[in-house]
A and B are shown apart, each in its own frame.
Chain A
Amino acid sequence: MYIDPEQRQNIARRLRSLPQETRQPYDWIEFRRRARERANASSRRGVNGKKYATLAAALVVAVMGVAAWIRLTRPDMPMSAQSDATSGSGAVVIGPPDTVEARAEIAERWLASLPDEPIVVRVGTRATIAGLEDRIAQLDDFLSMARAEGAQPAKLTAIEEQRTRLVNSLVQVRYAETLVSASR
C-alpha cells in the first residue's frame, strides 16, 4: 500500500484546514440540567444497588432450595437431622440467610463446591467467566490495597457492592453452564 508522501501531506493539509470549532450542542444552563439529571439517575441506581444485591443473592437460595443451603452450611450434619432442622424440631435454629453478606457467602461457597469446569467447555462461555473472575480478583486486590492504606470503610462499600454483583453474575453464568452441561 504505497502512498506518495506528497499526496499524503496534501491530504493532511486538507484535513487540518477543516474547522476546529462548531456550535456548542447546548448552553451552560442545559449542561447543568443534564448533569443534575445524571446525578439523580446515579443515586437512584445506588439505592437500587443494595436491593439488587439482596435480591440476586436470594436467588441462590430460591433456586437451590433451602435443603441445599443447609447441606452447604452444615455439611457434617446427617441427612435426618437436616430434615428435622427444616421442620423446626431440631435443636439448632436454621433459617434462610437474612443478610446480604450471609447470602453472598452462600453464593461463594456454592461456587467453590463446583468442579473447576464442566467436562466440556464452550470457549465463549469460559471467556466471559474468565472476565468475571479476573475482574473480581482485581477488585479484591484493590480492596486489600485500599484497606492497607487506611481507606475509610464507608468509601469502600460501593466497591464491595460491585464485587457482590459480579459474584452473583458469576453464580448465574456458572449455574446455567452447569445445567447445559448436565443436560447433554
Chain B
Amino acid sequence: MLRTLILAILLVPGLVLAADPPLAGDKGGDADLEAKLDAARERLQASAQEVAELTNQLNRPFFQKFSTFNGPGGRAIIGVQLDRSGGNDGAHVLEVSPGGPAAEAGVRAGDVIVAVNGTEVKGEEATRQVVKIIRAAKPDTKLSVRVLRDGKTQELTVTPRPGPGIMAFGEGVPAMPAMPPFFMVQGPLSNMELATLSPQLGKYFGTEKGVLVVRAPPDGALKLEDGDVLLAVDGREPKSGSHATRILGSYQPGEKVTLRVMRQHKTLDLEATVPEPSPGHRKDIMFQRSPPESAPAPGEVIIMRRTDEST
C-alpha cells in the first residue's frame, strides 16, 4: 500500500526526530492520545466560559477593549506576555505563548523588545507602545522586532496569525473565545495524516515544497489521495502539516476550495468542498464519558472536569 511505503520512507532512522524517550511503563498509544485530546477540548470549552466570566468581572474599559475585535476572525494574535514592571530599556517579555507567532519568530522569555518596525520603544511607555502594536496587528502583516538578549540585539520577524475569534453578542454580555473548528476535529478530515516534505523526500515526489498527504481523508473528501503533495489551498502555500491544518480550519463546512496538488509528478487543481462533520463520521470514543473515577496512578494527572452546577 502506498501509505505503508510512505511511512517506511518517512520513518527511516535518521529522519525521525524523537523527543526524550518515554519512561518504561508509559505505554501511550492511540487511546491515550484520544483521551488527552478529549480532555484538552473539555478544558478549552470550560476555559472559554471561565475566561468570559473573568474578563467580564474586570473593569468595563478592559472588557470593551478586549471584545472589540477586527472582524469575524477576531484580533490577530502575537502570543507574547509583556511585563509591566521592568527596566526602562524596552518592553520586557515575561512569557512567550508556546507555538504562537512570537515563539515561531524566535522570541524568548526574558528578551527585551527595543524596537518594532524600526521604531524604538523605550522608557516608561515601552510596554504600552508595544501593546498598541499588538492591538493593531493584522494577520500575515509581518512585524520586524528587535530584541535585546544577553547583551546582544537580534532582529526577528513576527507574523501575526488570525485569532480564534471571539463570540461577542452585544452589550452587557461577556465575550467568549471560540473553539477549534468542529469539522476539523471530528469528521472526515480529522484522520487525514500529513507530513512536511524534506528535500530528500521531495526528490521522490517531484517537488521540494509542499505537504505530503500520507493518509487521505476517507470517502474522497477534498478529492485527495494518498501520496498527493498539497502545494496550495486557494493560493496559500502550507509550510507544514500544522500550517495546512490551520489553513483548512479557516474554512466553513460547505465552502468551496481549490487545492493545488502534485499527483504522480503532475500538477492538478482540485475543486473541492469542505466536508460537513456528519454524524456517521463521529467517532463515538470522542463522546464517551471520562473513564470511571478510580484512584489515579502515580504520576497520573487528575483531570478537572467542569462540574455542572445544576444538573
Contact between B98 and A111, CB atoms less than 8 A apart: yes
Contact between B193 and A120, CB atoms less than 8 A apart: yes
Contact between B309 and A140, CB atoms less than 8 A apart: no
Kindly identify, within residues 148 to 172 of chain A, every residue whose CB is under 8 Å from any CB belonging to chain B.
148-151, 155, 158-159, 162, 165-170, 172
What mask results when residues 178 to 215 of chain B are scored 1 for a CB within 8 Å of chain A, else 0?
01110011100111111110000000000000000010
Partner of A138, one of B177, B184, B304: B177
Contact size range, A: 35 or more
User: Known contacts A117-B242, A132-B44, A133-B100; is A63 also within 8 Å of B184 by CB?
Assistant: no
Contact between A130 and B245, CB atoms less than 8 A apart: yes
What mask results when residues 116 to 153 of chain A are scored 1 for a CB within 8 Å of chain B, else 0?
11011111111111111111111111111111111100
Whether a CB of chain B sits under 8 angstroms from the CB of A184 is yes
Q: Which of A13-21, A44-52, A78-86 contacts its partner? A: A44-52
With both chains docked as a complex, state the minimum distance between the C-beta of A50 and any C-beta of chain B, in angstroms.
11
Kindly identify, within residues 77 to 107 of chain B, every residue whose CB is under 8 Å from any CB belonging to chain A.
77-84, 95-103
With both chains docked as a complex, state the minimum distance between the C-beta of A132 and any C-beta of chain B, in angstroms.
6
With both chains docked as a complex, state the minimum distance between the C-beta of A133 and any C-beta of chain B, in angstroms.
4
User: Known contacts A128-B40, A129-B242, A180-B33; is A147 also within 8 Å of B19 by CB?
Assistant: no
Interface size of B by Cβ–Cβ distance < 8 Å?
A: 101
User: Known contacts A128-B40, A143-B81, A147-B127; is A122 also within 8 Å of B66 by CB?
Assistant: no
Whether a CB of chain B sits under 8 angstroms from the CB of A94 is no
User: CA A137 – CA B59 in complex, angstroms?
Assistant: 22
With both chains docked as a complex, state the minimum distance between the C-beta of A154 and any C-beta of chain B, in angstroms.
11
Chain A residues near B11: list those with CB within 8 A.
119-120, 184
Chain B residues near A145: list those with CB within 8 A.
62, 65-66, 131, 134-135
Chain B residues near A112: list those with CB within 8 A.
98, 103
User: CA A43 – CA B103 in complex, angstroms?
Assistant: 34
With both chains docked as a complex, state the minimum distance between the C-beta of A155 and any C-beta of chain B, in angstroms.
6
With both chains docked as a complex, state the minimum distance between the C-beta of B291 and any C-beta of chain A, in angstroms.
15
Whether a CB of chain B sits under 8 angstroms from the CB of A114 is yes
With both chains docked as a complex, state the minimum distance between the C-beta of A7 and any C-beta of chain B, in angstroms.
27
Whether a CB of chain A sits under 8 angstroms from the CB of B146 is no
Chain A residues near B50: list those with CB within 8 A.
158, 162
Chain A residues near B214: list those with CB within 8 A.
120
What mask results when residues 23 to 59 of chain B are scored 1 for a CB within 8 Å of chain A, else 0?
1001111101100110111011001001100110111
Whether a CB of chain B sits under 8 angstroms from the CB of A93 is no
Please give me the residue from chain A that is nearest to B18 by CB atom.
Answer: A182
Q: Which of B251-259, B260-268, B295-303 contacts its partner? A: B295-303
User: Known contacts A123-B248, A138-B177, A170-B98; is A114 also within 8 Å of B19 by CB?
Assistant: yes
- Which DSSP category, helix, strand, loop or mixed, fits chain A's interface? helix
User: CA A91 – CA B305 in complex, angstroms?
Assistant: 43
Please give me the residue from chain A that is nearest to B296 by CB atom.
Answer: A55
Contact between A124 and B184, CB atoms less than 8 A apart: yes
Whether a CB of chain B sits under 8 angstroms from the CB of A102 is no
User: Known contacts A131-B179, A142-B66, A151-B58; is A137 also within 8 Å of B307 by CB?
Assistant: no
With both chains docked as a complex, state the minimum distance between the C-beta of A72 and any C-beta of chain B, in angstroms.
9
Whether a CB of chain A sits under 8 angstroms from the CB of B249 is yes
Contact between A124 and B22, CB atoms less than 8 A apart: no
Contact between A49 and B99, CB atoms less than 8 A apart: no
With both chains docked as a complex, state the minimum distance between the C-beta of A175 and any C-beta of chain B, in angstroms.
8
Contact between B37 and A147, CB atoms less than 8 A apart: no
With both chains docked as a complex, state the minimum distance between the C-beta of A116 and any C-beta of chain B, in angstroms.
7
User: CA A41 – CA B310 in complex, angstroms?
Assistant: 9
User: Known contacts A135-B164, A137-B78, A151-B58; is A173 also within 8 Å of B40 by CB?
Assistant: yes
Please give me the residue from chain B that is nearest to A104 by CB atom.
Answer: B95
Chain B residues near A52: list those with CB within 8 A.
302, 304
Whether a CB of chain A sits under 8 angstroms from the CB of B270 is no
Contact between A133 and B97, CB atoms less than 8 A apart: yes
Please give me the residue from chain B that is nearest to A158 by CB atom.
Answer: B54
Contact between A162 and B40, CB atoms less than 8 A apart: no
Could you list some 27 contacts between A and B, CB below 8 A? Answer: A45-B306, A62-B298, A63-B23, A64-B23, A116-B240, A117-B242, A119-B17, A124-B191, A125-B33, A127-B184, A131-B164, A131-B185, A132-B44, A139-B51, A145-B65, A145-B131, A148-B82, A150-B84, A151-B62, A162-B47, A162-B54, A177-B33, A179-B27, A179-B29, A180-B28, A182-B19, A184-B7
Given contact pairs A112-B98, A121-B240, A121-B241, enumerate 6 new A-B contacts (beta carbons under 8 Å): A37-B310, A41-B309, A119-B16, A120-B11, A128-B41, A144-B134
